Chain A
Amino acid sequence: MDEFAVEMRDVVKIFPTPEGGEVAAVNHVTLQIKHGEFFSMLGPSGCGKTTSLRMMAGFEWPTEGEIFIDGAAMGRTPPYLRPINTVFQSYALFQHMSVFQNVAFGLEMEHVPKKEIEHRVGAALEMVKLSGMSRRKPKQLSGGQQQRVALARALIKRPAVLLLDEPLGALDLKLRKEMQLELKALQKEVGITFVYVTHDQEEALTMSDRIAVMSQGKVLQIGTPVEIYERPNCRFVADFIGETNFLKGKVKKIERGLLTVELPDFSQEIKGMGHENLAVGQDVSVSIRPEKIRLEDDNNTTAVEEDKDNILRGKVLATAYVGSDTRIIVDIGHDIHMVVWEQNNISTLDPQAYYVADDKVLVHLPFENTLVLPEGVA
């Protein structure tokens, strides 16, 4: 067995456009997916997720580069000869067949004996909790149930890799959350490598072992959910995953992993963490997540100097109490607003305990949570 379940090596896919031009749907993508991994491809619409998946499945061929499945170069191997199965976004169920026939189809193609087919289809339907429905036609099922049929139909082939293209996209929010957990549990149970496409960052964070963040045909960053969230490698990733605040600046000094960034709008410098390939003089974005910011009452007397936090002065513009936390918008001058989430670990009805508009505050940005990011990936 090869080290990787799927590997894309410098893959490019160019489509002709109707206008006569060309579009690089996938642009020099290299990535490796390990066996048994829940791997997500995340990115905005049109960034090339589906195209990547379709090339793995064999519905499209790379213009350049090579795709390996379990170490074997795929070249122009047709889909029916690849050890890969797909769950389509539209489910693509066979409407003229019953649920049983849909799920059995893949085994029939392998000429599995009838008895065994019956047995395995029964087990597969049980796994996706559709046991009583084998005689129904797809049209007689709800969206969530159709989704499970699509899943059972693909999983029954025991593929090395299962590709899922936004499989929960058509479901309502509640069902979606339920299915997220079920899918994740199912993946653990069967131990098959999942390649999961989504444009929902929360979904990717909750389900994945690793995530590849894509934009405009390129992979920007690959990492665990924690790495992607806590240590994005560029402004785009920080912006796309979760919420954050940005300040524009220029690198002034680099020492012992701590960078000093000059904020031209403010007569102030802030310190933060940054990648080692940043250079002095480079334009950067500084990203601070709203939940990592701490506020303090500003009584005008404190000397604004600390060795763990950057401190900015600001004024509360508006607040919104959302139960678990309070969302506060702070104006730090020069028309720059920062969003701060203060966890409500106090439990009081006293309105004095909460920030209100026009409160003067000190905004604490801990060095370790102040991320200095390049505009794009190198």
Chain B
Amino acid sequence: MSEKKPALWLRIFSFLVYLYFYLPILILIVFSFNTQKLNVRWEGFTLKWYEVLFNDSNVMLATRNTLIIAFISTLVATVIGTMAALALQRYRFPGYTLIESILYIPVIIPEVVMGISLLAFFALIKFQLGLVTITISHIAFNIPFVTLVVRARLHGFDKSIEEASMDLGANELTTFWRVTLPTIMPGVLSGAMLAFTLSLDDYVITYFSAGPGATTLPLRVFSMVRFAVTPEVNALSTLWVLTVLVILLISQVVQKRQT
């Protein structure tokens, strides 16, 4: 690869784009350390809002719920989504095109529609709304995303490596664990990462399937900012950004190591 430096105007332009991305977040982070309660003027440094945050039992409960939902829905959606991707890659059957396209409908239709339909569905089967229904909903919208990402990775997958594995004495199951899965692992991990972040910050669908009792972090934040954005919310958002950043970095490192 050539190590040529980009032109000056290109560097300035890129800088502006990055500024546009990150300035609001930067401001938010800065104000999370502000002693004043309103996000207008800098007065002095404090960690008070983080203290308030960690003592807010509602926020802590919502965080716990969010993480549990994200973990479970990611796990289940990754398994099912990967299986779907493998099946679509490997088999041809009547109605293939139809099955393939309706799989992606949750990606395309507005979230509100999906949220309402899930709510209607749970009401119909008289399923008590709560953490379970949120998790089920998250699994539902995550599956197609995982499938999309894994299929991209499967494109150009050389199925002769599976034949080679069987040729060398591995049965179908061993072949899957030792050859197929490790080969598509980068795709599976990216899919899982995407599912995790989607679940972490989903508001619309969660709102419809949450019911009165259960709350997640996005729901909690929305109710907190109904009147004003407090520094406590700033602190929460800062931690959130940090968490996502760490996940992103880990995934980058993992991907680098894989290739």
Contacts and interface: CB of A to CB of B under 8 A. Distances in A.
Interface of A: 57-59, 78-80, 84-86, 88, 90, 92-96, 105-106, 109-110, 153-154, 157
B169 A92 contact: no
Contacts of B168: 80, 85, 105-106, 109, 153-154, 157
Contacts of B183: 94-96
A378 B215 CA distance: 82
Contacts, number: 62
Given A86-B164, A88-B160, A109-B174, A80 B169 contact: yes
A69 to B, nearest CB: 13
Nearest to A150: B164
A93 B160 CA distance: 9
B255 to A, nearest CB: 13
Contact of B167 (A86, A90, A110): A86
Given A94-B179, A95-B183, A96-B183, A80 B160 contact: no
A75 to B, nearest CB: 16
A88 B174 CA distance: 20
Contact of A94 (B161, B163, B174): B161
Contacts of A110: 169
Contact of B166 (A80, A94, A153, A157): A80
Nearest to A156: B168
Nearest to A59: B163
Contact of A90 (B160, B185, B258): B160
Given A94-B179, A96-B182, A96-B183, A78 B160 contact: no
A92 B160 contact: yes
B187 to A, nearest CB: 13
5 contacts: A86-B163, A88-B163, A90-B158, A94-B165, A154-B167
B171 A78 contact: yes
Given A95-B183, A96-B183, A78 B164 contact: no
Top-5 shortest CB links A-B: A109-B169, A106-B168, A92-B164, A92-B160, A79-B166
Contacts of B136: none
